């Protein structure tokens, strides 16, 4: 009896924690929604505002990296469902590497932009917004990489299988969110270039 109820207790707590993550995602989305509307309001304030450039091609590489990483994290999660440890580790590792590739590619994009004379500190704040969007997203990517690393160590250490499964489940949701968030930002910027 006690064992059973403890189980329901746990399932319920997990359900609630997963729900917490979804709510957190809503909060993060609101932050970027605010930046988007800030961008629109600012850019509409004068004809001299706006990006005044095309987006660097390196963004395409970033997009590829993060979309593929979304697939690999899903594969890791599927492997976790089948309790296939080596596959989980492999796909988690690939996801992390792709995450780092994304990170590097974004930083490189900043270099490309500043070579074109588009700097963060600028009297056309639309251009500063470009750095804010990507920078804030990268801050989330760092958090995502930590979550992935935690899931990876969950698989490789001997914590209970259920716990490690739960970690991958949450990491999976979060990483997909980061992917979708980037696509949103990219499309938003493309529409405004």
Partner 1 sequence: MSSTVISHDAAHHDSHGHHQESFLSKYIFSMDHKMIAKQFLITGIIMAVFAMVLSILFRIQLAWPDKEFPLLEVFLGKWAEGGRIKPDFFLSLVTIHGTIMVFFVLTAGLSGTFSNLLIPYQIGARDMASPLMNMLSYWSFLIACIVMVASFFIESGPASAGWTIYPPLSAVPTSISGSGLGQTLWLVSMTFFIVSQVMGGVNYISTILNMRTEGMDLWKMPLTIWALFLTAIVGLLSFPVLVSAVVLLIFDRSFGTSFYLSDLVVQGQILPNEGGSPILFQHLFWFLGHPEVYIVVMPALGLTSEVISTNSRKPIFGYHAMVYSLIGITVLSFIVWGHHMFVTGMNPFLGGVFMITTLIIAVPSAVKGFNYLATLWRGNIRFTPAMMFAIGLVSFFISGGLTGLFLGNATLDINLHDTYFVVAHFHLVMGSASIFGMLCGVYHWYPKMFGRMMNAKLGYLHFWLTFLGAYLVFFPMHFMGIDGVPRRYYAFTEFPFMEKWVSVNVLVTWAAIVAGLGQLAFIYNFFSSIWFGKKATQNPWNSNTLEWTTPVEHIHGNWPGEIPAVHRWPYDYSKPGAEQDFIPQTVPFSETMSSNMPHDFEGNEEAERIQEEWNAKNK
Integer angstrom CA distances of residue 193 from 47, 85, 96, 104: 13, 45, 30, 23
The yes or no reply on residue 114 touching partner 1 (CB under 8 A) is: no
Rounded-to-integer distance, Cα 152 and Cα 90, Å: 9
Asked if 72 contacts 97 with a C-beta cutoff of 8 angstroms, the reply is no
Neighbouring C-beta atoms of residue 98, cutoff 10 Å? 21
Nearer to partner 1 (CB atom), residue 42 or residue 63? 42
Cβ proximity to partner 1: between 25 and 68 the closer is 25
Tell me phi and psi for residue 159, to 5 degrees.
-75, 160
Question: Does 163 sit near partner 1 (CB under 8 A)?
Answer: no
The binding track of 70-99 with respect to partner 1, each residue x by CB under 8 A or -, is: ------------------------------
Question: Half-sphere exposure of residue 116, counting CA atoms within 13 Å on the CB side?
Answer: 15
Cα separation, 17 vs 11, whole angstroms: 10
Q: Report in angstroms how near the CB of residue 153 gets to partner 1 at its nearest.
A: 19
Window 129 to 158, contacts with partner 1 (CB under 8 A): 129, 132, 136
Footprint on this chain of partner 1 (rule: CB under 8 A): 1-2, 5, 8-9, 12-13, 15-17, 19-20, 23-24, 26-28, 30-35, 37-38, 41-42, 45-46, 48-49, 120-125, 128-129, 132, 136
């Amino acid at each position: 009896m006690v064992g059973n109820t403890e189980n329901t207790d746990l399932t319920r707590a997990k359900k609630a924690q997963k729900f917490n993550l979804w709510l957190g995602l809503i909060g993060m989305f609101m932050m970027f929604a605010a930046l988007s509307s800030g961008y629109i309001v600012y850019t509409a304030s004068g004809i001299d505002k706006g990006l005044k450039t095309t987006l660097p091609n390196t963004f395409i590489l970033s997009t590829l990296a993060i979309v593929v990483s979304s697939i690999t994290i899903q594969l890791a999660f599927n492997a976790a469902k089948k309790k296939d440890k080596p596959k989980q580790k492999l796909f988690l590792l690939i996801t992390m590497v792709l995450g780092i590739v994304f990170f590097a590619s974004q930083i490189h994009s900043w270099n490309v932009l500043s070579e074109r004379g588009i700097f963060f500190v600028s009297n056309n704040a639309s251009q500063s917004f470009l750095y804010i969007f990507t920078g804030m997203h990268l801050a989330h990517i760092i958090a995502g990489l930590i979550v992935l690393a935690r899931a990876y160590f969950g698989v490789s250490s001997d914590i209970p299988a259920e716990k490690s499964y739960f970690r991958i489940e949450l990491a999976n949701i979060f990483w997909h969110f980061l992917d979708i968030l980037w696509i949103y930002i990219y499309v938003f910027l493309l529409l405004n270039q």
